[in-house]
Amino acid sequence: DLLSLAHEHDIDLEGAPTQAANLCACEGSVACSTCHIVLTPEHYDLLPEPEDDENDMLDMAFGLTDTSRLGCQVK
């Protein structure tokens, strides 16, 4: 998933690349929003629409934006 990809490539998620693996409180079961990421519009448009359960969790994410996704659901 995106979190492990970002980790592999040392991409800065939430300002702490070495902690990327720890951001996933529910380990990808769409039961938290700790993996909330904000994509650029270009990247957002490349992805399939979020599923309902992802949207429900995103609603609870801090600082939700139009291009927010849950990192664990972005393959």
Task: Indicate whether 39 belongs to the interface with ligand FES (CB under 6 A).
Answer: no
Other Cβ atoms less than 10 A from the Cβ of 66: the count is 8
Task: Indicate whether 28 belongs to the interface with ligand FES (CB under 6 A).
Answer: yes
Task: Indicate whether 25 belongs to the interface with ligand FES (CB under 6 A).
Answer: yes
What phi and psi, each to the nearest 5 degrees, are found at residue 41? -55, -35
| Longest distance between any two alpha carbons in the chain, whole Å | 30
Task: Indicate whether 14 belongs to the interface with ligand FES (CB under 6 A).
Answer: no
Residue ranges in contact with ligand FES by CB under 6 A: 24-28, 30-32, 34-35, 57, 70, 72
